[in-house]
Structure 1
Amino acid sequence: MADTTGNTEETRTAGTPAPVPRARWRHIGPGIVVAATGVGAGDLVATLVAGSNFGYTLLWAAVVGCLVKISLAEAAGRWHLSTGRTLFDGWASLGRWTTYFFAVYAVVWGFVYGAAAMSSSALPLQALFPGVTDLKWWAVGCGLVGLVFVWFNKYAVFEKVMTVLVGVMFLVTVYLAVRVAPNLADAFAGLLPVLPDEKDSVLNTLGLIGGVGGTITLAAYGYWVNAKGWTDTGWMKVMRLDNRVAYATTGVFVVAMLFVGAELLHSAHVAVASGDKGLIQLGDILAAEYGTATAKFFLIGFFATSFTSLIGVWHGVSLMFADFVARSRGTGTGTASGEQVASGARERSWPFRAYLLWLTFPPIVLLFQGQPFRLVILYGVLGAAFLPFLALTLMWLLNSSRTPRQWRNGPLSNTALAVAGLLFLVLCGKQIWDQPWSEFF
């Protein structure tokens, strides 16, 4: 992303090491990880459904969604690099309420998300290998593979595997977009900000903008930046290039799926279900239209999309939880740099591995017994509340004396974070309003 601090040159904080060489493509890494983790099956379905319902009309909204998330990830990365402190340490400086929010969020969200991620990864496997075993056992297998992979591998290996899976996702989505022969004139027209002439079009459009490319993984970006070895302001230009790559990649994924929805479904008046099962339906439609080989190729991409989200959350949110526990117990320095990050100590810590276990084994119970109604409601509310929490706290931190003056927000970054915070507050309010609270009590 461009320099949103409003400065005309990169100024290093006192005492930091000499700047690294200028940003090059070979440095890219955390951005690929955040793009892969942030784009799950749900994001692809959302843009697919938008394309099937409105054609190319909301293409602009998908692009705006990527720009909004760029500002959030850049702010998180800038906090880590400019202060030498972790994001949770910044949150803790704002008051105990941030600790309480994150503690409840980590427990409830992680419990329900674990089951959702495992099920999402299992669906394409069951479709690729019908009759081998039940969906629940595919889901258990995905969760256990993710656990073992993240438990025994450090960030460098994790990043390489994520890069390969992103390559698969990229090939599949671009192939499908080309295969359906998009109408480029209509696509360019879809870049004009126009709302569909339908009821609730504003809220649907805001939902598409807010749903593109990640929730808590945006906060995890700063931790992945540190795990890569970027720990001071000398890496700021590299981080910004990396962040741009992340959301350019995300943009390719969601725009490609909107093309598929617009050409394959909208023109034929075919509807697919919301949620992961909509992608299974798309696989059946592709098989009927283009043959079994294309459908299987798509299912491989579907699995790559879902499994990268699984292992990305298993790794990134566990890093955050490890920092949370260290800060809460007073056993960690709250710094983003230094020996702990360089040695990968967080990835070997007991809180990191304890949260890995929490994401894997308790959710298996949900796979076999169904998700408790009240827990699902809390999960939805907490998930909706996280992005406004992230946007507004980053705006607070990066405009205060906690951040060195030269790295504080400029007008562009403040505008972007304010728009993001307002957008996510509206979506959070809608999510809370839509919950069946009368059945909760």
Structure 2
Amino acid sequence: MAETRATTGTGEPDSRPRKSSWKYIGPGIVVAATGVGAGDLVATLIAGSKFGYTLLWAAVIGCLVKISLAEAAGRWHLATGRTLFDGWRSLGAWTTVYFAVYVVIWGFIYGATAMSSSALPIVALFPDGPGLKFWAIVTGLIGLAFVWFNRYAVFEKVMTVLVGIMFVVVVYVAARTVPDVGASFAGLAPVLPDGSLLYTLGLIGGVGGTITMAAYGYWVNAKGWSNSSWMKVMRLDNRVAYVTTGIFVVAMLVVGAELLHASQIALTSGDRGLIDLGEVLEDRFGGATATLFLIGFFATSFSSLIGVWHGVSLMFADFVERFRAPAGGEKEHAGPETVDRQQRSVPFRAYLLWLTFPPMALLWLDEPFGLVIAYGVLGAFFMPFLALTLLWLLNSSRTPREWRNGWVSNGMLALAGLLFVVLCVQQVRELPW
């Protein structure tokens, strides 16, 4: 690779690729695969089944919002040479309290959700085998062992394979339904049918939007991108990731519109809705297509599981490290060596264990309805925090002037913050008080 030698605004050596290249793609695929879970695909399916192609425009806007958020997180890491927690801590102690409470409660609830979601397609594929609890525990332990013993390079390769499976399966299923091209183009016009507001907000804000968006900067550093010379590469990587996510969303809307909307077939909410879809596909296209879909369902769920096991554990390790460091002291430049060290640290492995073992107790709840609600509310509370703090950090002197927000970034982050606040309020209003 051709390089030029200079220094960056962070004082680090500048190993600048002369142009962005597809061969560097990686962290964006990881964050997109982690953010798109089975529940997101069900929500998209239901939107398609209720409104056909009408809300396709909302899915497109949602991808643009996620591109802006992930780009902002990556830009902070590369432009400043600091991690996101360095930035959050500079905003005041309230950010430390907010994240500490959030990450502990969220991890406990998400662990059970991820393990159950990964187990569902296995149970559907092998109905005469062990039950859901057994497979949920097995998937959790496999995720724990995989992340514990592997570094980022192996993790990225496995995530890329899982994304490939997801992509092929979802696009294949959409193609089998024979999409209406004219109606899909008509769906790009912003229209709000009666009763569609919440589905529209969910499409814009939900798919691919989780705490793992904040982990993008850490995966960027793990890849070896540690200064602003990698900014163009990061931006290409991020756009490819969310274009891929957009294809997932459009494909699932097509399936919902063509397979479910015309036939007025209703799906179960939550991850089990994909089991319903598997049965519909078997009736319509045969067992082979249904089996292929369940394999894609597993790839979607398990990629989210190991993505969270790796990314959020890395965030927690950095959180503990920055919390222990004296405020205003000399800070280590964020780079692959930092990430590699943190992956071997006690906090990283402690959070891995927290995600895996305590949540197993929740698997014995027959109807964990309250947990599902709590998970949704907790997810809604993090995204406004991320959007608004990035807006604050990237417009301040904490960021080198060259890499501060322009009007497009400010507009997209403000839109994201407002959108997620509305979604958060709606989630709280729907609580069974």
TM-score normalized by structure 2?
A: 0.95
Alignment of 1:6-25 (within 5 A): 12-13=8-9, 15-18=11-14, 19-25=16-22
Residues 133-167 of structure 1: per-residue CA shift (max 9 Å, x gap) = 01011100000000000000000000000001100
Offset at 1:333? Answer: 6.1
- Structure 1 counterpart of 2:267, from 272, 293, 298: 272
The residue aligned with 1:341 is 338
Give ranges in structure 2 of 5+ residues lacking alignment.
1-6
Paired residues of 2:209 and 2:383 also in contact (CA < 8 A): no
Comparing 325-334 with 25-34, greater Cα deviation is found at 325-334
Measure the CA separation in 2 of the matches of 1:433 and 1:193.
26
Q: Name the residue aligned to 1:420.
A: 416
2:323 paired residue number: 328
Q: Is the 8 A contact 2:10 2:81 kept in 1?
A: no
**Pairwise CA distance, 1:12:** 4.6
Change (3 A) 1:96 1:14: closer
Q: For 1:297, which of 271, 282, 292 is the aligned residue?
A: 292
Query: What is aligned with 1:112?
Result: 109
In structure 2, the partner of 1:282 is 277
Between the aligned partners of 1:116 and 1:62, the Cα distance in structure 2 is: 24
Q: Which residue of 2 aligns with 1:354?
A: 350
TM-aligned CA deviation for residue 53 of structure 1: 0.4
Counterpart CA distance in 1 for 2:334 and 2:235 is 18
1:211 matched residue in structure 2: 206
Letter in 2 for 1:301: G
Q: State the partner residue of 1:79.
A: 76
SS in 1 for 2:298: helix
1:339 to 1:303, Cα distance in 2 relative to 1, 3 A: closer
- Counterpart contact for 1:108–1:378, Cα < 8 Å: no
Shift of 1:22: 1.2
- Residue 137 of structure 2 is matched in structure 1 by 140
Percent identity (aligned): 71
- Find 2:314's aligned residue among 311, 314, 319: 319
The match for 1:411 is: 407
Structure 1: runs of 5+ lacking an equivalent: 1-10
Aligned-partner Cα distance in 2 for 1:345–1:370: 40
Aligned counterparts of 1:212 and 1:220: Cα–Cα separation in 2 = 16
Check conservation: 2:27, 2:237, Cα contact below 8 A: yes
- Does 2:255 correspond to 1:257? no
For the 8 Å contact 2:78–2:230, the answer to whether it is kept is yes
Change in 2 beyond 3 A, CA 1:328/1:15: closer
Q: What is the CA distance between 1:256 and its match in structure 2?
A: 0.4
Q: Secondary structure at the match of 1:60?
A: helix
Structure 2 Cα separation of the partners of residues 173 and 186 of structure 1: 19
Measure how far apart 1:302 and its partner are.
0.2
User: 1:404 Cα shift?
Assistant: 0.4
Task: Give 1:98's match in structure 2, choosing from 91, 95, 100.
Answer: 95
Query: What letter matches 2:202 in structure 1?
Result: G
Indicate if the aligned counterparts of 1:16 and 1:233 stay in contact, CA closer than 8 A.
Answer: no
The question of whether the paired residues in 2 share the 8 Å contact of 1:136 and 1:367 is answered with yes
Once the two structures are TM-superposed, the CA of residue 208 in structure 1 deviates from its matched residue by 1.6
Report how many aligned residue pairs link the two structures: 424
State the SS of the aligned residue for 1:358.
Answer: helix
Q: Is the 8 A contact 2:74 2:234 kept in 1?
A: yes
* 379-388 or 421-430, larger mean C-alpha shift: 379-388
Q: How big is each residue's C-alpha offset from its partner over 1:12-33, in whole Å with a ceiling of 9 and x where there is no partner?
A: 5263323223110000000110
Aligned partners of 1:227 and 1:290: how far apart in 2? Answer: 43
Q: Residues 59 and 191 of structure 1 are in contact (CA less than 8 Å); yes or no, is this contact kept in structure 2? A: yes
Give yes or no for contact 2:77–2:83 (8 Å, CA) kept in 1: yes
Q: Deviations along 1:377-410, whole A, 9 cap, x unmatched?
A: 5544322110000000000000000000110000
Q: Partners of 1:59 and 1:327 in 2: how far apart?
A: 42
* SS of the residue 1:409 aligns to: coil
Instruction: Give, in whole Å, the separation in 2 of the partners of 1:260 and 1:159.
Output: 29
> TM-score with structure 1 length normalisation?
0.93
